[in-house]
Chain A
């Protein structure tokens, strides 16, 4: 429950902090409605549409309604996929509005004790520190390697968890050992002709749980002719904080990252996770009121590129003879890569240039898979409903491989495959891992 006093504080801050111009920019035409997964999945409920959410935020600012449980639920149920932004003719920055609203609500609300502890541990104690991320990931590795995982599964301990969580446990990747995670190089030379100097944003989850994908990314960049620098001082991108109403923490991370990358003076800053990329490319908005960082953030943003973009730009797909054993492949967009970073053609171009592959476009590939950060845990019901629809369209492609470009999407697609009982004939992979297989021309 949000108390009356909390509601009053929230309302006051809505008035002072929400961007009124942006709220007014929504002229309520409704062009966003067909693009919104929660509007569609809720059976066309306006309260779960971007237009409805903006109206609610504006009504709180105008004092027409209080930020009660229903308002909060409407905002919480948003995936933050931002599919509404590219289709908005008025150009409303919905993502920024949502982020601000969530930040105000969470900063003024007394969470339950378990929620408070979880948030504190995750947002303040864990994600900002790469060494701690490694330690925690290492625990997962120990669990997987010690035999405990198979024991737990044998006893059926996981059956006590909700379905989607026990399936999630099954699809987590085998994590590398602590030693491997700690030995990250800081500089790699280009293979063959050097075409560009790039700095690599390694991420937190991507550099621990998905370390093999990061390794594959680095290898691909080297092959494409990139000299790579990996700044040691870089931090988590801050997306999880930003999306969960911990904006100040997010700003701290942003500053650390800007500082870490400034020293390198690379041609490009490369990401391989759509979610991180979208948050990084918004640093200029995040830090717009900070005179020490606003211009530096713009400079940072101007260099940012997703892996797919740089590979296509450097002609990787034409220079390399990419091939794999014959198979059907489809691609699930990362919402943030597509809707915020505007990268949609490049991953498809890369996949279609692999010999042996039959590329099949999935119906509504641009629609969110329901992963959305920790959404699949906190809004499990809606997330699984969205995933079930996604798997229906995925199955229609008859593809053996679903390629993704973001760790959250990757896990969600693996989860979907597991839930559908399709793991014997369908796999989900990150585009970096898949491309590297194609370079080697092996299965």
Chain B
């Protein structure tokens, strides 16, 4: 617990109205979007400036109080669950767009700005910020940077990391640092920008972000390819990439996912097929037309039963919205929805989908799969019920096998959601003991007292690697 004296120190820094230690206040910041994780913080503090953040950190450092930075709490790895108490640092006041630089094509923002608000603002000026996590309507840039979020456009344009040029951040001891800048080239020392992106709030508190923008693509086309079996859909993904076409978006949804999504969006998605691919290409109209034609041919050659083009931008947007709601819509099936984001090299998509289905049968589970097929980032999801402890055990076993399989195929345990608490026990499978040690060395150099989002990324115990029978 935090003493009254420390609370008063917080209050004198940010004002009484920006410190909340009521039970209700603490409860509503005890969770994020990750099922099964909840823990009460001691207080919620909402700073207004970088200077206030620095002063707060000095107080926390002096009293060894954990700090959990939090945007909108949409993350899926329990990265913002205050597992060890302490304070939740809210960025609701620090949500301004500071500068749109038309000459350097950059935008500088505070971490609390909602991603979609930023996207809309730059698009007004004909500029493009490609990372578009499914939660972009809700999530903040600060959260996206900390978790290194991906999105539907990741295949062609990359993830958040690829657009962060510079950061302002506060270290655990209260020092304010600046990394990178509006530079296209910069090799001065260690790349702290890249180190902090995806560090899940464990290395520093990010207080300002400079992002790279690119010109808006001139045109865009959207396709929906329908399949009678999952394997054919998965093979299509590999064939498109092998044909040296990089679509903007190449998303996969299986039948159970299609059904719940259609139940929510009611836009007439085909629920009688086993799988669909949502494919988009953007760019110069001639190239888009050529790519779309080739993609259509490949889909049909790989046994798509039909390939439909969206007739209007509204129709295309409806399809994208449908895809973005997939995870939450799956909650319609059962009370608890557990999702993972095992990721493999994209040439292995078909193998991974096959393995997931076999694992589902083996453990008698219903596993729905959707995801960013084009970048190998799949979301096998189990609709279950947390009250059914026997089934929950099987779910855990199944996911352990899925992670093991992904790693065997040259993949990873998380493609875009982050490690947080959820994947922490599996991190060693991916990095090895030496890899973990290297990361821990960085952590203890920057945060010796372990006050920045403790309990995340590094687990107390790593899980024993399961042996996969091949």
Contact = CB atoms under 8 A, between A and B. Distances in A.
Interface string A25-36: 111111101100
A349 to B, nearest CB: 17
Tell me if B's interface is mostly helix, strand, loop or mixed.
Answer: loop
Given A31-B137, A34-B138, A55 B74 contact: no
Nearest to A66: B23
A143 interface: no
Given A30-B135, A70-B22, A91-B332, A64 B31 contact: no
A313 B264 CA distance: 25
A55 B95 CA distance: 25
A179 B331 CA distance: 55
Interface string B364-408: 000000000000000000000110000000000000000000000
Contacts of B326: 89
Contacts of B139: 30
Contacts of B335: 21, 24-25
Given A21-B335, A46-B29, A91-B329, 20 more contacts: A25-B332, A27-B35, A27-B331, A27-B336, A28-B33, A29-B74, A29-B331, A30-B74, A31-B138, A52-B28, A59-B27, A64-B40, A65-B27, A71-B23, A89-B331, A90-B328, A90-B329, A90-B331, A91-B264, A91-B332
Given A28-B32, A31-B137, A34-B137, A65 B24 contact: yes
Contacts of B325: 31, 89
B148 interface: no
A80 B250 CA distance: 39
Contact of B23 (A33, A52, A65): A65
A33 B135 CA distance: 11
Contacts of B319: none
Contacts of A56: 24, 27-28
Given A30-B72, A89-B325, A74 B24 contact: yes
Nearest to B73: A30
B328 A29 contact: yes
Contact of A47 (B25, B74, B327, B329): B25
A291 interface: no
A56 B24 CA distance: 7
A192 interface: no
Interface string B128-171: 00000001011100000000000000000000000000000000
Interface size class of B (residues with CB under 8 A): 35 or more
B92 interface: yes
A44 B28 CA distance: 12
Nearest to A48: B28
B138 A70 contact: no
Given A27-B331, A29-B328, A68 B23 contact: yes
Contacts of A59: 27
Interface in B261-275: 261, 263-264
A204 B28 CA distance: 39
Interface of A: 21, 24-31, 33-34, 43-47, 49, 51-52, 55-56, 59, 64-66, 68, 70-71, 73-74, 88-91
A91 B261 CA distance: 11
A30 B92 CA distance: 15
Interface in B57-103: 72-74, 92-93, 95
Contacts of A70: 22-25
Nearest to B24: A70
Given A29-B33, A34-B138, A46 B28 contact: yes
A116 to B, nearest CB: 25
A27 B23 contact: no
Contact of B135 (A29, A51, A91): A29
Query: Which among A24, A25, A43 has the greatest number of chain B C-beta atoms within 10 A?
Result: A24
Nearest to A26: B331
A406 to B, nearest CB: 25
B412 interface: no
Nearest to B331: A90
Contacts of B29: 46
Contacts of B207: none
A46 B28 CA distance: 6
A24 B33 contact: no
A30 B27 contact: no
A24 B338 CA distance: 13
B259 to A, nearest CB: 13
A21 B383 CA distance: 13
B386 A24 contact: yes
B92 A44 contact: yes
A135 to B, nearest CB: 42
B337 interface: yes
A-B pairs, top 4 by smallest CB distance, nearest first, are A89-B328, A90-B331, A70-B24, A24-B335
Contacts of A31: 135, 137-138, 325, 328
Contacts of A64: 27, 40
Given A27-B331, A30-B74, A47 B24 contact: yes
Contacts of A45: 92
Contacts of B328: 27, 29, 31, 88-90
Nearest to A33: B138
Given A34-B137, A44-B92, A24 B336 contact: yes
5 contacts: A28-B35, A33-B72, A44-B92, A66-B23, A90-B332
Query: Which among B32, B95, B139, B331 has the greatest number of chain A C-beta atoms within 10 A?
Result: B331
A46 B30 CA distance: 11
Contacts of A25: 331-332, 335
Nearest to B339: A27
Given A21-B335, A55-B31, A89 B25 contact: no
B337 A27 contact: yes
A55 B27 contact: yes
Contacts of B33: 27-30
A29 B29 CA distance: 14
Nearest to A72: B24
B358 to A, nearest CB: 27
Given A27-B35, A29-B328, A47 B28 contact: yes
Contacts of A24: 335-336, 385-386
Nearest to B44: A46
Contacts of A88: 328
A89 B73 contact: no
A72 to B, nearest CB: 9
